A = this chain, B = another copy of it.
Amino acid sequence: MTESTDRLAIRELFDAYAHCADRRDAEGQKALFTVDTRFAVYMDGEGTEPTYVLDGREALAPVFADLNRYDVTTHFNGQSTVTIDGDRATGESYTIAHHVYTEEDRRKIMIASLRYLDTFVKLDGGWYFAERNLIVDWTETRTQEET
C-alpha cells in the first residue's frame, strides 16, 4: 500500500462517516471506529474541556441514533489535512453539518460548523478512527421564511 492509497482510504473513511450519518446507517458508522475508540465532543470550541467523552465503539450508538429526530441531515465535508506516520495518522477535517427538522409547522435548519481532530490507525490493511475530537466552532439555527 503506497502513501497515496493510504490517503485515499483515510479520505474515504472521513466521507463514509458523513454518508452513514446522513443515510442513518448507525451500524456502518460504528464499524468505522476501532473497538476501543475515544470520541470527545467540544461544544464550546477548541481548548475548552470536552462537553462529553465516549469510550469504546459501543458507546457511540446513542449519538448516532440521535440523528433520527431530524427529517434530513447533510454532513457536508470540506478540506481534510492528514499527516501519515506508518500505521498511524492525524488530521484536521472540516464539516458543516445541516440538520433539517419541523417545529410548530415551520421548517428549521440547525447548522453546526465542525472541525474533527482525528487520530487514525491502520489495522489489517484498513484505516479506522482511533480517536475523534469534534470541535464545534459555532452553530446557527434558521427558520425557513414564509413564502
Give me the interface of A with B, judged by CB distance under 8 Å: 4, 7-8, 12, 14-16, 18-19, 22, 45, 71-72, 74, 76-79, 81, 92, 94, 96, 98, 100, 109, 113, 137-138, 140-145, 147
Q: Are A72 and B137 in contact (CB under 8 A)?
A: yes
Q: Which residues of B contact A78 (CB under 8 A)?
A: 76-78
Q: Which residues of B contact A7 (CB under 8 A)?
A: 8
Tell me the bound Cα distance from A140 to B71 in angstroms.
14
Tell me the bound Cα distance from A98 to B111 in angstroms.
12
Q: Are A113 and B94 in contact (CB under 8 A)?
A: no
Q: Are A19 and B77 in contact (CB under 8 A)?
A: no
Q: Are A142 and B142 in contact (CB under 8 A)?
A: yes
